[in-house]
């Protein structure tokens, strides 16, 4: 009896293991097949979060010398001070005797005024949420925030011209200057606006963050999109220039269904807000808003798309697995 029970337990355990194996295989086929067979992508981008508006402490102001104190005036070395102190009949820096202020009194007043100004500046900077940076050494004071926008569009794979346009932009765009990034942003939004008949899914979001946090979030979002493909066949950034390579993957049995374009834009605080995209009209308005941003507003731009090779495919199952929060238009 004990042997029969043990045998039944073994059969049940084997069946459970086989079921888990088959289930895992199905999950692998639905979620990781793109990674297993290889997939292509491209990116264009550039910008700098370090170019914040600079704020410097003002240089000391010097008042003109001359004048005399009440009583006897004894010539001596002129000592400039930031705040002119009237005494006698005018302004002066000499040693005062009689009815004027003495040199030590002037220094006391200067120290008190300087301490007050420093304290006031400290209070203002803390109220603005700014760290203790800046001053005579010329370091920038980071007093602003950055908006990080993400707009993602899934189009039918028959929009082959869009793939060609993105590769052309990678070859021709100057991503090392604010003007070049502005033009890139305009061209990408325009290319998407020209293909409304291919729009299927989309999503948008925005975050307002301090500058350093915004940079980290921007890089994290870009990296997350780039990890969704195995071969980056097109890459153009301000620091590395254009890099292109041949796609080695082969997908003879797959049917191309979608192309996904992700546009990341970081702007100085105060840029227009994006709509929460729920329809084609929302997407059209969001693209128009992003495309109208000026070079003074844009901090960084990153465009990531997949597939980048015309012979590569992105199936419906892969789209729904890798881009889980897209909204059907």
**What pLDDT is recorded for position 10?**
54
Overall pTM surpassing 0.85 (yes/no): no
The dihedral through the CA atoms of 124, 128, 132, 133 has a sign that is negative
**What pLDDT is recorded for position 253?**
63
Contact 251, 313 (CB under 8 A): yes
CA 271 – CA 312 distance, rounded (Å): 37
Pairing of strands 231-237, 40-47: parallel
Structure tokens at 144: 């602003």
Look up tokens 């500046």; give the residue: 121
CA 239 – CA 237 distance, rounded (Å): 5
What's the full length of the chain, in residues? 329
pLDDT in tens, the chain (329 residues): 555 455 455 544 554 444 444 444 443 344 444 444 578 999 999 998 875 443 433 444 434 444 434 443 444 444 444 444 444 444 444 444 444 445 566 766 767 767 776 666 655 544 443 333 233 233 333 447 899 999 999 999 999 999 999 999 999 999 999 999 999 999 999 999 999 999 999 999 999 999 989 999 999 999 999 999 999 999 998 767 788 888 876 665 667 799 999 999 999 977 788 878 999 999 999 999 999 999 999 999 999 999 999 889 899 999 999 999 999 99
**What pLDDT is recorded for position 272?**
83
User: What stretches of the chain show up as alpha helix (H) in DSSP?
Assistant: 2-31, 33-37, 103-127, 160-172, 178-193, 211-226, 280-291, 316-322
Contact 90, 79 (CB under 8 A): no
Contact 41, 61 (CB under 8 A): no
Look up tokens 């120290």; give the residue: 111
**What pLDDT is recorded for position 111?**
75
The dihedral through the CA atoms of 316, 276, 143, 303 has a sign that is positive
Contact 266, 218 (CB under 8 A): yes
Q: Which of 267, 263, 174, 180 is nearest to 215 (CA)?
A: 267
**What pLDDT is recorded for position 153?**
98
Instruction: Tally Cβ neighbours within 10 Å of residue 86.
Output: 10
Contact 192, 161 (CB under 8 A): no
**What pLDDT is recorded for position 271?**
79
């Amino acid at each position: 009896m004990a042997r029969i029970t043990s045998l039944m337990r073994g059969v049940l355990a084997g069946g459970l293991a086989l079921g888990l194996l088959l289930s895992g295989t199905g999950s692998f086929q639905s979620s990781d097949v793109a990674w297993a067979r290889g997939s292509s992508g491209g990116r264009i981008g550039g910008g700098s979060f370090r170019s914040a508006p600079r704020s410097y402490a003002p240089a000391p102001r010097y008042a003109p010398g001359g004048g005399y104190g009440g009583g006897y005036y004894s010539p001596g070395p002129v000592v400039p001070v930031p705040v002119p102190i009237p005494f006698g009949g005018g302004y002066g820096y000499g040693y005062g005797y009689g009815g004027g202020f003495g040199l030590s009194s002037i220094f006391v007043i200067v120290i008190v005024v300087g301490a007050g100004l420093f304290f006031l500046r400290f209070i203002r900077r803390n109220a603005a949420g700014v760290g203790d940076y800046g001053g005579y050494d010329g370091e920038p004071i980071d007093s602003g925030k950055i908006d990080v926008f993400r707009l993602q569009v899934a189009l039918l794979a028959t929009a082959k011209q869009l793939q060609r346009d993105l590769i052309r932009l990678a070859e021709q765009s100057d991503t090392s200057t604010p003007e070049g990034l502005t033009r890139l942003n305009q061209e990408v939004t325009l290319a998407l606006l020209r293909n409304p008949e291919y729009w299927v899914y989309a999503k948008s979001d925005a975050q307002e963050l301090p500058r350093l946090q915004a940079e980290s979030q921007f890089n994290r979002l870009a990296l997350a999109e780039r990890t969704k493909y195995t071969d980056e066949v097109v890459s153009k950034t301000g620091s590395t220039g254009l890099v292109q390579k041949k796609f080695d993957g082969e997908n003879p049995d797959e049917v191309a269904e979608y192309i996904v374009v992700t546009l990341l834009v970081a702007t100085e605080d105060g840029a227009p807000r994006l709509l929460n995209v729920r329809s084609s009209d929302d997407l059209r308005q969001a693209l128009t808003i992003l495309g109208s941003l000026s070079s003074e507003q844009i901090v960084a731009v990153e465009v990531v798309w997949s597939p980048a090779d015309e012979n590569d495919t992105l199936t419906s199952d892969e789209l729904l697995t890798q881009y889980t929060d897209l909204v059907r238009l």
